[in-house]
Amino acid sequence: MPKPLDIIRNTRKRLSEMADGHTLEQLNRIPEKYNNNLAWNLGHVVASQQVLCYELSALPPTVDATIMEKFRRGTKPEAWIAQEEIERIKKLLVTSIDQFEKDLESGLFKIFTPFTTAMGIQLASIEDTIPTIIFHEGLHLGYMMAMRKLVG
């Protein structure tokens, strides 16, 4: 049986590969009836994991504040996302989950603020976040798979 963090890594690998298969213009294009784009979805999975794991544990995120501000829940693309930022996000897809695994193994997550997600999933511990992240990132992978057909 695959380890949960390996499932997240595999999903993130697919997300990154999807970005590699599109031009910068396609990554930034917002398809009709959508309120975000492929590039935003990449940043959003990183920011969301940071909120669910670190902020709810009263810890500072391991990614910079710019990523958190631009891609957290409730945001949408407000400006063109440059290639350099996309490359940085793609790197964070790997490094942020690696750091999370190290922090999890070291016992860093000692407290947790209970939270109910937009999908009605109740989180009461750091352990609850892992299947939620798998679900959330799979959902955004699905959005991106649908979007890619609409952006060219």
pLDDT tens string for the chain (152 positions)?
669 999 999 999 999 999 998 999 999 999 999 999 999 999 999 999 999 999 999 999 999 999 999 999 999 999 999 999 999 999 999 999 999 999 999 999 999 999 999 889 999 999 999 999 999 999 999 999 999 999 98
Domain spanning 4-151: which CATH class is it, in words?
mainly alpha
Q: Give the other-Cβ count within 10 Å of 75's Cβ.
A: 16
Would you state the pLDDT for residue 21? 87
**In angstroms, rounded to a whole number, what is the distance separating the alpha carbons of residues 114 and 125?**
7
Instruction: For residue 22, report the phi and psi dihedrals to the nearest 5 degrees.
Output: -135, 155
| Under 8 Å between Cβ of 38 and 85 | no
Nearest Cα to Cα of residue 54 among 19, 9, 104: 104
In the chain, where are the structural domains located? 4-151
**In angstroms, rounded to a whole number, what is the distance separating the alpha carbons of residues 97 and 54?**
12
